[in-house]
Amino acid sequence: MNDVYDFAGDHADHADHGERESSGPHRALLLLELPRWTMEYGASRLLDLAHAVTPTDPDLGQGRPVLVLPGFSAHDKLTGRLRGHLGRRGWDVHGWNLGSNHGLTEKIVEGLPRRFAEIADRYDEPVSVVGWSFGGLLARWLAHEHPDRVRQVVCLGSPWRAEGERTRATGLFEKSREKHGIVANAREIVDLLRGPVPVPLTAVWSKTDGIVPWQGCTVDERQDPPAENIEVVSSHVGMVASPLVLSVVVDRLRQDPADWRPFAWRTLVPGIAS
């Protein structure tokens, strides 16, 4: 089982915890995460500098609201590159303002819905939610809880499936559970978010992800409401900095849920076949 938390192994010993933490994508991919992120972040900065000279349409996002959720152990500062990229293209982008993401703690389970409602109440339209890694699971949860107030969900390297390999972070979730606690209904929340999302859904994932197995991030594609997979070449940490991923997120957030256009690389990068 690729449980976010090891609900079935609450009595496992510490040696087993160590074994779980070491499983997941190949170790070489894990070791390359930091250097790859450095290159991806630098490339996206150069891209935005180029756009500062030749600006993109400032009305691209038309002031529509977007909430960005960080990954496990991450915080708003680490999603700043993504949020800044979207903000410069016309979206009204919000961080979650909940500090570091320690999983299904009382602070997050109670605070995230309040933060979402606070943002949604400001606008006369649904809010798009972009979630990175575990933040994507929380985005799926928000969509189930508030389908009428979520415009669409974009998940970046989010291992939501129950089947498949364990991630490199499973052991960290267990350690965080011991330190920060977990809500009593965590199992119910995970079961709910694993159901078909009732709003348009995009899953962005990479076979070269060094933290989570890509198989656990793919979704079952459908047309109503749309659900689609987009494969990119990216590190896991780079999902919120890679120029390729940022371009995909912009393209998907532009979509009208009532007139959804399937993703095609040829429309994003002219001259590239679909």
pLDDT level of residue 116 (50, 70, 90 thresholds): very high
pLDDT level of residue 202 (50, 70, 90 thresholds): very high
pLDDT level of residue 47 (50, 70, 90 thresholds): low
Mean pLDDT over each residue of the chain, to the nearest integer: 82
Rounded-to-integer distance, Cα 2 and Cα 166, Å: 5
| 96 within 8 A of 68, measured Cβ to Cβ | yes
pLDDT at 19 over 70: no
pLDDT at 230 over 90: yes
Domains of the chain: 7-258 (3.40.50.1820)
HSE, CB side, 13 Å, CA atoms: give it for residue 251: 18
Joined together, the tokens standing for residue 149 give: 């107030």
pLDDT in tens, 163-192: 644 565 566 667 777 788 899 999 999 999
pLDDT level of residue 146 (50, 70, 90 thresholds): very high
Of the listed ranges 2-11, 43-52, 223-232, the one predicted with least confidence: 2-11
Rounded-to-integer distance, Cα 208 and Cα 189, Å: 29
pLDDT at 132 over 90: yes
CA distances in angstroms from 215 to 2, 157, 174, 219, listed in the order given? 10, 10, 22, 9
For residue 14, what pLDDT is reported? 38
pLDDT at 212 over 90: no
